[in-house]
Amino acid sequence: MKYLYLLLCTLLGFDVMAQTSQPSEFTQIRQELQKKWPDNRTVNLVFHGHSVPSGYANTPNVKTLQAYPHQVLEAVKEMYPYAVVNSITTSIGGENAEQGAKRFRQEVLPHHPDVLFIDYALNDRSIGLERAQKAWEKMIKEAQKQHIKVILLTPTPDLTEDISDDNSPLEQHSRQIRHLAHDYKTGLIDSYATFKEKRKNGEDLKMYMSQSNHPNEKGHHVVAGLILNYFFDEAKWNEYHQKQTMKIMKKVADWQLMNFENQVRKGSRWANSHAYWAWTNATMYIGMAEWAEMSDDPKYWDFLLTIGEKNQWQTGPSIYFADDICIIQPYAMLFNKYKEPHMIKKSVETLDTLIANPRHNSLSYYADGSHSRWCWCDALFMAPTSFARIGKTTGEPKYFEFMDKEFRITYDSLYSATDSLFFRDTRYINMREQNGEKVFWGRGNGWVTGALTFIIDHMSAQHPSRTFYISLFRQMMKKISKLQDKQGFWHSSLLDITSYPMPEASASGFFTYSLFWGLNHGYLEKEEYLPIAEKAWNALVSVVHEDGKIGYVQPIGADPKKVDMNDTEVYGTGAFLLAATEYVKYLKHTK
């Protein structure tokens, strides 16, 4: 919330904001909302305006329950369960402020608003600034005579206008509304400035619109979030974000369960890419297990148990191929919950065989037998973390000794100390992107930072190599944080955003997870990294489809590729659930 104040002050000028009614001045309304029967009373929120608060989507279709008045009501009721709250919409599609002012006394004031919202600017272009100002002033004065708290809204976008134009009609009306809020000391919801900032940061505003001048549910959610600053203090926001994040996690997890078998059957051009034991699914299982730990619904653990039984608790066919042993990680997580020895018996045998019969092949990608070692950076997520989990579970140091030795060999082969990033494999060391930069794959480095969190988490505090992994984690996150785009995403190619302008959700998911994990464990400084992490989380949520599908996930591959909102993969779900888990933990720690 403090960040919002700073943003608005920056956008509008401090003097204007200082003179408007701030959310902190709504303490009385918040107190009323907290009262229990028989001391409580009805609190009326009245939304007066045109088609947007009415809920128009694609004219003439009206989606009342997706519009911001209803979203505000839902959120307020969730956080104030004892309150009696009415959300009353007196808006009429196609109406301007003059028309709204004419019926104000007869159709608005009789509802006895505690808080009145006015939103007319989109249609006020037809009557001009002067006539609009007189109409707004009339409504504000009449409301304030009745001691009603008033909040003015600047418009949501109209895609037929250039929102970046500082002299567009909507910008002129927005400026006028800001001055009205200043002059009459009302509240202000600057929707236009918020969407303008999103466009400035590279977002496509079409994703927030159902048609050129009507927001979709996601667009209304933006406005509702701004309004809720008048009803939630920081503690309430914290609690609300926890609940909302859990809802999103459930939606994502449920979509994954519903679509899992189809993804297994569909597979890809890569053999065994979606087998029940495959690395793709194993990554998703890890995120799903973290969600299962938070959820009170046993179906997620049941799903994971079913997978273990289908696999007969075995790894993939090639124990020396890192991807084929990633499945050990969810097995270890299931064992830690259920304590059934058969769940990790075969995993322990597999890792013991690897330790007893190590390979000594070159890590040069095309060398004979190179893939029996960890010769590509994603392998660091697949294999070392499996050794770390079994090492922690059994208490046997040999697993960490083997892991540490092999990890450092891969580190020496693929890590660029100059860039604080990993090459995907030796083929990429001398490759260059179109802009002349080195090729550093987004998800490839996401695999590594995710792996480092698991290794550090499971390694004994007394282990002599632990400081190496912590130092490496900090080096990488410092560099990666500087590569975040304006929206909060990372891209398929970390150093060539021009060639790959679209976001990439699996890399962004792993980096978001790593940021919040680092903050939660004290390895990253809050002042420097929290704004980056929160921006990343908000960006990540924006690629979740309404049904829970994660978009912008690069398909299976070894290098940067172009993606779009409809591209998804199981490991994208896993990365998202990991990120969400750490975000919820962060919110709980900051109560």
Yes or no: say if 516 and 586 are a contact pair by the CB < 8 Å rule: yes
HSE-CB at 356 with a 13 A cutoff on CA atoms is 6
Tell me how many degrees the CA angle 505-311-404 measures, rounded to the nearest 5.
60
Burial readout 11-30 (b: 16 or more C-beta within 10 A, e: otherwise): bbeeebbeebbebeebeebb
DSSP-derived pairing of the beta strands 149-153 and 115-119: parallel
Render 483-527 in DSSP notation, one character per residue: T--TTS--BSBTT-TTTS-SB-HHHHHHHHHHHHHHHHTTSS-HH
Structure tokens at 532: 């980056």
Burial readout 204-214 (b: 16 or more C-beta within 10 A, e: otherwise): ebeebbbeebb
Cis peptide before 38 (omega within 30 of 0): yes
Question: Distances in Å between the alpha carbon of 312 and those of 68, 105, 368?
Answer: 50, 72, 32
Strand partners, 471: none
Backbone angles phi, psi at 335, to 5 degrees: -60, -40
Tell me how many degrees the CA angle 233-239-244 measures, rounded to the nearest 5.
115
Q: Of residues 158, 190, 378, 567, which has the active-site annotation? A: 378
Yes or no: say if 350 and 306 are a contact pair by the CB < 8 Å rule: no
Cα 504 from Cα 162, distance rounded (Å): 27
Cα 248 from Cα 295, distance rounded (Å): 12
Torsion angle (degrees, nearest 10) of CA 81, 86, 87, 89: 170
Provide the 10 A C-beta neighbour count for residue 331: 30
Sequence-separated (6 or more) residues with CB below 8 Å from residue 142: 104, 105, 109
Render 131-174 in DSSP notation, one character per residue: HHHHHHHHHHHHHHHTT-EEEEEPPPP-TTS-TT-TTSHHHHHH
Sequence-separated (6 or more) residues with CB below 8 Å from residue 519: 526, 529, 530, 533, 586
Yes or no: say if 190 and 11 are a contact pair by the CB < 8 Å rule: yes
Q: For the chain, how long is the longest CA-to-CA vector?
A: 86
* HEC per residue, 20-35: CCCHHHHHHHHHHHHC
Backbone angles phi, psi at 341, to 5 degrees: -55, -30
Cα 31 from Cα 282, distance rounded (Å): 48
Burial of 546 (0-12, 13-18, 19+ CB in 10 A): exposed
Sequence-separated (6 or more) residues with CB below 8 Å from residue 294: 246, 249, 581, 584
166 catalytic per annotation: no
Residue positions annotated with a catalytic role: 378
